[in-house]
Amino acid sequence: MNGDQPPAGATLAEVLGLPKDSKQIDTPDVLAISGADFSSGQDIRVPLGLLHKDGSQFVADGDKTKIWLAPSGTDKAIGPFEATYQPIAGPGIKLAPQDIKGVFVTHVKVPEPGSYYIAATYTANGKQSTASGGITFNDGQSTPAIGSAAPPSVTPTLKSVDGDVAKLTTATPPDTSLLQYSVADSLKAKKPFVVVFATPKYCTSRLCGPTVQIVQDVQAKMQDTPMRFIHLEIYSGDLTPNNAPASWVTEWGLPTEPWVFVVGADGNVKAKFEGALSIPELEQAARAALAS
């Protein structure tokens, strides 16, 4: 790939330096998508990971990439959209060597639902390169849209279970600061809140534990504000995957986990995050919700 800006109307294959008739896209590296609830026709947050084909993660020079999309290599490329690296880091956040250490976050908008190639152009260690993957945009979202009313889920608290923390969380140590308020009561009281849906012990993506800790870290930064912070597990009963999803998972339409939502005092969703997120992203969204 040469470093020149692609001409107006360039196809995705041309943007990636491939032959113009390349309908299929094959790049040196892989662009991994974190999430599944994407829709067409609106601005959508998309978290991405840059991977070598052996599965190892790396970061582009300058912590930035350009993102492009198209249904096939011979279709006109949609973009560029800038993606910025957001590290998953903070007090108390423990990551195993194989865990992802951060994601590139971009906001994209495509006109029609369907399956798309999503590709990145970037420089790594001074060398220009490309990565690609696949992403599907649906005709609508299963989770509450930004601007819509938050579902008034009746959720448990430490008080409602007589302090039996094992009924509320799989986090170790227990995240008791996130177990004080219910969603329904917060909405009724017109209190803004952040709610994280995650199962730290059983999360298949290994993002749940760090995500719950990120919420706690932002809670500590915002303790002098009226923002409430709530953690809800994914499974019912004894919180293990042997049980059905909890009622609030269905009520919020969650296709994956973890999820974090920011809800304003008016009861409407102000921001939402699927998969990986960073402390600055969440803090910025939570403070914006207080100001709206």
pLDDT at position 4 is 60
pLDDT at position 78 is 96
User: With left for phi above 0 and alpha for psi between -120 and 50, is residue 125 left, alpha or beta?
Assistant: left
pLDDT at position 192 is 98
Cα separation values, 222 from 66, 154, 188, 270, Å: 33, 25, 22, 17
pLDDT in tens, 166-181: 999 999 999 999 999 9
**146 contacts 59 by C-beta, under 8 angstroms:** no
**122 contacts 131 by C-beta, under 8 angstroms:** yes
Give the burial string for 136-165 (b: 16+ CB within 10 Å, else e). Answer: ebeeebebbebeeebbebebbebeeeeeee
pLDDT at position 286 is 98
pLDDT at position 91 is 78
Which ranges of the chain would DSSP assign to H, the alpha helix?
12-15, 183-188, 208-221, 247-251, 279-291
Q: Looking at the DSSP assignment, which residues form a beta bridge with residue 205?
A: none
pLDDT at position 205 is 67
pLDDT at position 3 is 47
Kindly list the structural domains of the chain, giving each domain's residue range(s) and its CATH number in brackets, ordered by start: 12-137 (2.60.40.10), 165-291 (3.40.30.10)
d(CA 45, CA 275): 11
pLDDT in tens, 65-119: 999 999 999 999 999 999 999 998 777 777 777 677 889 999 999 999 999 999 9
Q: Which residues contact 116 (CB under 8 A, 6 or more apart)?
A: 69, 70, 71, 110, 134, 135, 136, 137
pLDDT at position 93 is 79
Segments of the chain scoring below 50 in pLDDT: 1-3
Task: Give the pTM.
Answer: 0.92
